[in-house]
Every structure is written in C-alpha cells, then in structure tokens.
Amino acid sequence: MDWPIITKSLASYQPPPNFVDYQQTCADFSWDAVRKELDGLPDGRGLNIAHEAVDRHADGSAAEKVALRWLGKQGEVKDFTYADLKAQSNRFANVLRTLGVGKGERVFSLSARIPQLYFAVLGSLKNGSVFCPLFSAFGPEPIAQRLERGNGRVLVTSERLYRKKVAKLRSSLPQLEYILLTDSDEDQADNVLSLSRLLADASPTFIIPPTDPEDMALLHFTSGTTGKPKGAIHVHNAVLTHYLTGKYVLDLHPDDIFWCTADCGWVTGTSYGIIAPLVNGVTNLVDEADYEAERWCRNLEQHRVNVWYTAPTAIRMLMRGGMKPREKFDLSRLRLVHSVGEPLNPEAVVWGEEALGLPIHDNWWQTETGGIMIANYAALDIKPGSMGLPLPGIEAAIVHKTAGGGVELENQPDCEGELALRVGWPSMFRGYLHDDERYRQCFVDDWYITGDLAQRDADGYFWFVGRADDIIKTSGHMVGPFEVESALMEHPAVAEVGVIGKPEPMIGELVKAFVSLQSGVVESEELRLELLGFARKKLGSAVAPKEIEFTDNLPKTRSGKIMRRLLKARELGLPEGDTSTLED
C-alpha cells in the first residue's frame, strides 16, 4: 500500500532541531567548517577521537556532567562524569603503555556492555592503538579468525568468556600476547592479567601523543559472501562524521539523555553507542542487559531518555507483543526515535506514532561508511519505508556499471540501480586489512559502490531494494554464508552446504542451511538437531543457522560454485532467473 507522508510540526519540537532548512544546509556545507567545531589536540598535535569525545569536555565546564550512566543487569546504576571518564581512559592508556603496546597495535574486546569496555575503547584511542570490538555471542572460530586476521595483541574479556571461548585458541594465536580480565581481582598467569589491578596501579594522568587524522583508529570486521571476514579500517578523522551525524541526524542537544541499544560488537555500538554521543557532550545511557520489553520501557521512563537509537528487531518485538508503552510508562521526555540495522518496514514507522507518540526515523549506513549516510531528520517529513535523504556533505547516487568499467548515473526517478557514494567523506573506510585488492574492487571512478540496490524518488528520498550479493542481515548482524558453510563442513556427516537468508518478520532474515550428507549417512531429526547444536557451538548464536534442510544435491555452476541465489529463489518460490551456468 501507499503510506501517507508523515508531516512534521516543528512548533512541537523543544528544543528546536539543529537544522531546519535541508537544502540551504547542504548548499552551505563544508567539512572544514565541521572540523572547526572540534578542538583538535593541544599545541596542534593533530586530531584524536578520544580527546574530542572526552578530554575536551572534561577540561572545560562539562567536567562534572554525567558522561556515562551504566545500568547493571541486577539493577545497579553507576554514573561516570566526563572527568571520571578522562581519568579511567587515561589509566587504560597507561596500562597499554606499561605493557609495551603502542601506536597502531590492535586491542580487541570480547565483552558485555560493562564500564571497563568503555574505558578500554577510549584508552586505546588515546594511546594511538587500534580498537577492534567482537560480539560476545561469537563462537570460538569467528573469534579466532578475527584475532588472527586482525593481528590482535591484547584482548579485553571476562574470565568466563576467556575460559569458554579463547583459552584453547592461544596456541594458534602467537600474536595474542595479553589477556586483560575485566572481572578478576588477581592475575591468572603471566599474560592473563587482572584489569582492575592494572587500572588501580596506573596513573590517571596521560598526555595523548601526536595523532594524525589519518592514523588508524578502529577496525571493524564485516562478513563477505565468500572468503574470510573483512576488517574495515577507520581513522581518527572519522570523528567528524560521528560528530555531525550526532548533531544533524540524532539531533543531540547538550542536556539530552541518549540511549543506543546496540552492542559494541557491532559498528553501531561503537560509532553511536560511544563516540557520537560523547563527542556531542550528552549523557550516554548504557544497559548491560539484553532486550526485555518492560525493562526497556522502564529505562526510557526512569532515565528520562530524550533520543533513542535502536534496531528494527526490537521494534518489531514490541509490536508483536502488543505492547502500548505510553499506556503504562511516562515517555513524555522522549523526543526522537531512530532505527538502524535493516530496512524498517512502513508499519513500524507508523506504529511508533501510535505506541510511542513519535514516528520512527529510519537511516542507512554500513560498516564501511563508518557513520550514517542517509537518514530521516527531525525537521523533515517522513516517507514511511524510505531510508531518507543524504547527510549534508554526502553525495549519494543510483548508478549502473558500464561495459567499459565505469559507472553512469541514473537521473530518472524511481529507477533501480546500485547505491553509490562519492568518495571523500571523513569516516569512509581506508582499506580492508591485508586485502588491498578487495578494497580496490569497492570503487569505480570516484564512487564507492555500496553493494546495495536502491531507488531514488522525485523528491530525492532513497528507498532500499535489497543486497546485490548474498549477505544475510539477521537481528542487526551481518552474516556471511561462507563462514557458516565452512563450520558445518567440519562435521563428519556433512558433504556440502549452501546457506541463505530467509525472510523472517521479527529478525529480518534467519540463517538457513541446505546440507548434503556424506554417502551412507542417513538423514534424521536427531542428526538435524545435532548439526544445529554443532554449528551453534562453533559459531555462536548470532551466526549459527536456525534451520537446516537436508538435500541430495545442491545447485552448482559448472565450475563447482554453489548457487545460493538459486537456493533462495526455490525456497521462496521466486523466478529462478538465468540458469545457463547451472551444472547438468
């Protein structure tokens, strides 16, 4: 159906949005002007994300303002001011320096949302080291792949996660020198150390060394359709995008309480669960617990949240539960709701108006873009189901690749093509670690080809169509089929595997595996359950398949490549398209 446009009444917005006239803002925009809104390191020593996020506030009038409000699973509440956050991140930076961990070296985390995680992120950036978060739900193999490919030297984790998922991998990870345990008061071994002890012994004073804006700062892994996970490199200059999107998209104001529900293992949990709110000087709410409808609504009420950034999965779960939050909770402080992870269906946007009193603003970006690129804004009307309009300073286009290896721009409205961004924005990824050729393939002329298919309407709004490849988006996670297939292939009963994403209203897509068994192995319900458990143990719940179907033969090309596209078409009853390369 055609959903009516949601028209905004700016008179109801208090405080007024950070920008009102989109066209004029775009016309007047320059990244140099954004840079001047930030401080830079003292004495012209460069630009450092942690300085802009913490120290510039701690050294000024906001020193005693709450920067981080942490909610523990058991109901604990701990406040950390900007001054506290400066001291604790300084201590972590000094810990790294004491251990001999220096500029450019990788610090990984495998952790729940606990205060030490935030100290580690900011302290690593201060030290000039590179921070790389991992999902605590990952199994041993995805963890090992990322630590090995990312040259991990330090891992911040809990004792339970270390013993369960990492300890047995140590012999295969010679570069992993130090394990810093967040919940142990004593060292477990010479290189398995108590982080609380180290922090207590470290100085709260630290001078951030010179940091070039192009110095590597963050490493975010994202799965591809084939091969190993890709490590997207981001630099300190990305803070300009974090700051601007916090100001223009999230519409953050100094007195706001902001809550991003994303886990730090996902790029959203770093860019918008840590950096953007702190750079904009607001109070950042962090809940250690996972989704639970009553708890989340209670958080919004009790902590007087003004701006909420969450995932479509959570929104759909609230919808399916039949919950009417405003009937039970006081959400009068809530001013703006944003969603990201997979496209937000129009029903959810409209449901927000009915259940929360506010429409939900969808936005689009990728691990590779480092920050929000296309969004719905506080001051602008919403077309339910649309990604919105490009961020000021971002040139987005619909393109078609030409036979000559270039691209041509699609200027007609509502025509489908590949979504592309003109290169040059500050948070654009600077490479895939150890894979220069793969990085080069992402660009044609002056355009970054996103791999997403989209349309642009006559008003300039962009609409997501689908992925140009096989990537699976499930509950906000990006899952590469090859990673799942490889794990299942290790089971002795399995001969071949093909994995697809199957649409599922609650989580976007669920991971489904088609399994061909070894000769002589008989399919059974017991074996199917065994394979599901096997995959879950190896990959973790975030990546493992939710469904397994046995099949005698998988469709393959003549070169032996499994045709996932054909598997998906047959599963969903869609046209099979070109089958000329299908093996006889």
CATH number of the domain that 257 lies in? 3.40.50.12780
Residue 153 neighbours by CB under 8 Å, 6+ apart:
101, 105, 106, 107, 175, 176, 177, 178
Q: What's the pLDDT at 84?
A: 98
3-state secondary structure at position 460: coil
127 and 55 both lie in a single domain: yes
Tell me how far apart the alpha carbons of residues 363 and 276 are, in angstroms, rounded to a whole number: 15
208 and 289 both lie in a single domain: yes
Is residue 372 within 8 A of residue 364, CB to CB? The reply is: yes
DSSP state of 552: S
Is residue 410 within 8 A of residue 399, CB to CB? The reply is: yes
Q: What's the pLDDT at 561?
A: 60
Closest by CA to 553, choosing from 570, 529, 577, is 570
Other Cβ atoms within 10 Å of 366 Cβ, number: 20
Tell me how far apart the alpha carbons of residues 331 and 300 are, in angstroms, rounded to a whole number: 7
58 and 154 both lie in a single domain: yes
Residue 152, in any domain of the structure? yes
CATH number of the domain that 500 lies in? 3.30.300.30
Tell me how far apart the alpha carbons of residues 41 and 33 are, in angstroms, rounded to a whole number: 17
Residue with tokens 């300890």: 167
Q: What's the pLDDT at 555?
A: 87
- Sign of the Cα torsion 238, 244, 245, 251 reads positive
**Pairing mode, if any, of strands 396-401 and 407-409?**
antiparallel
From residue 324, how far is each of 127, 260, 290, 295 by CA, in Å?
A: 46, 21, 20, 14
Is residue 169 within 8 A of residue 144, CB to CB? The reply is: yes
3-state secondary structure at position 514: strand
Residue 460, in any domain of the structure? no
Tell me how far apart the alpha carbons of residues 430 and 7 are, in angstroms, rounded to a whole number: 38
Residue 24, in any domain of the structure? no
Residue 22, in any domain of the structure? no
316 and 435 both lie in a single domain: yes
207 and 117 both lie in a single domain: yes
Q: What's the pLDDT at 225?
A: 45
Report how many domains make up the chain.
2
Q: What's the pLDDT at 349?
A: 87
Residue 364 CA neighbour count, 13 Å, CB half: 26
Tell me how far apart the alpha carbons of residues 70 and 456 are, in angstroms, rounded to a whole number: 40
Buried b (16+ CB within 10 A) or exposed e, 182-196: bbbeeeeeeebbbbb
Residue 401, in any domain of the structure? yes
Q: Which two tokens stand for residue 252?
A: 């953050």
One digit per residue, the tens of pLDDT, for the chain of length 584 reads: 478 999 988 877 889 999 999 999 999 999 999 999 999 999 999 999 999 999 999 999 999 999 999 999 999 999 999 999 999 999 999 999 999 999 999 999 999 999 999 999 999 999 999 999 999 888 898 899 999 999 999 999 999 999 999 999 999 999 999 999 999 999 999 999 999 999 999 999 999 999 999 999 999 998 654 457 899 999 999 999 999 999 999 999 999 999 999 999 889 999 999 999 999 999 999 999 998 999 999 999 999 999 999 988 788 778 777 778 999 999 999 999 999 877 777 888 888 988 999 999 999 999 999 999 999 999 999 999 899 999 999 999 999 999 888 999 999 999 989 999 999 999 999 999 999 999 999 999 999 999 988 999 999 999 987 777 777 888 877 787 777 887 898 898 988 889 999 999 888 899 999 998 988 899 999 999 999 999 999 899 888 999 999 998 888 754 346 788 889 889 888 887 645 335 55
389 and 502 both lie in a single domain: no
Range of the domain at 478: 472-572
**Is this prediction's pTM over 0.75?**
yes
From residue 178, how far is each of 54, 110, 113, 168, 181 by CA, in Å?
A: 26, 13, 21, 15, 10
